[in-house]
């Protein structure tokens, strides 16, 4: 049966150096996947940086915006960080993404490389589950002007520098004052990001179907400052009241230095990321596998 997806973009882990041992593995993996896609009747293109950094030739090369306009599917090979970066860039094009895991945890790149042929074949024929993940739109406001603007799929984190003391943050939701918090920082996480930094800071797991965010303090001075789940239609504002060398990070992949009085304003983006999973996929299967639940149970 012919593939449902005519033109498929192959996107690898940019940060891997092609001449290194791990780069050689990633290059071999990408070439194996490209050959498989071609055999399934797909026209394979390579993302520009992937082709350049991996030294792969013989396939058409497109930039990410060109992939968004021209391709029917993006196949991302790497870890969750690779998927986060490409997911944000392709979200407003609506291109669906499949993740093949060559990283460690793989919450959103969930297909193991060693079984990609048996898993991808039916998916390319249209046998898959579709999963939409919301994005956050964050702005850093200074004296009424936006000085930094970013999307985040996992989280927006405001925190102190490694060598400085606590920061004091004023938190507002929909214009209503919530609290002034003294802590090492504060995390605003989507359901996708609830298994990342938020989880390590004591936040709850949020099922991807929940239209919410979780607000999680990092090492708060007052232990009664606890994580809280909010509707993702809310506008969250965090103002820097006190503390040195504070910064804001967006999916841990872009960074803004902050001054006293700066406000980080977070709203729901109108865009979302489309993930495709194998037929029968369950979020609970992912949690059980990645978090090692039930280990040692007969």
Instruction: Write out the catalytic residue numbers.
Output: 80
Instruction: List the Cα angle 174/177/179 in 5-degree steps.
Output: 125
Cα distance between residue 283 and residue 296, in whole Å: 21
> Residue 180: how many CB atoms within 10 A of its CB?
12
Provide the CB-side half-sphere exposure for 212 (13 A, CA). Answer: 13
């Amino acid at each position: 049966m012919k593939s449902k997806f005519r033109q498929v973009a192959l996107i690898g882990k940019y940060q891997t150096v092609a001449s290194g041992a791990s780069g050689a593995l990633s290059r071999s993996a990408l070439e194996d996947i490209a050959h498989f896609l071609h055999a399934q009747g797909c026209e394979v293109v390579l993302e520009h940086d992937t082709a350049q950094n991996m030294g792969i030739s013989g396939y058409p090369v497109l930039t990410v915006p060109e992939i968004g306009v021209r391709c029917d599917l993006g196949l991302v090979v790497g870890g969750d960080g690779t998927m986060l970066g490409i997911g944000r860039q392709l979200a407003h094009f609506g291109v669906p993404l499949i993740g093949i895991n060559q990283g460690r945890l793989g919450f959103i790149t969930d297909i193991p490389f060693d079984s990609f042929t048996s898993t991808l074949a039916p998916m390319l024929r249209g046998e898959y589950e579709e999963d939409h993940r919301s994005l956050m739109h964050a702005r850093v406001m200074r004296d009424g002007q936006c000085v930094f603007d970013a999307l985040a799929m996992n989280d927006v984190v405001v925190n102190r520098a490694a060598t400085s003391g606590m920061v004091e943050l004023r938190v507002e939701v929909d214009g209503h004052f919530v609290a002034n918090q003294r802590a090492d920082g504060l995390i605003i996480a989507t359901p996708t990001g609830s298994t990342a930094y938020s989880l390590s800071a004591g936040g709850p797991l949020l099922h991807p179907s929940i239209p919410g965010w979780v607000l999680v303090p990092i090492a708060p001075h007052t232990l009664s400052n606890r994580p809280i789940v909010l509707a993702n239609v809310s506008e969250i504002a965090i103002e820097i009241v006190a503390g040195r060398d504070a910064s804001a990070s967006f999916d841990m992949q872009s960074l803004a230095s902050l001054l006293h009085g700066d406000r980080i304003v977070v709203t729901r983006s109108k865009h979302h990321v489309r993930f495709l999973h194998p037929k029968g996929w369950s979020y609970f299967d992912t949690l059980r596998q990645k978090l090692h639940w039930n280990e040692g149970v007969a």
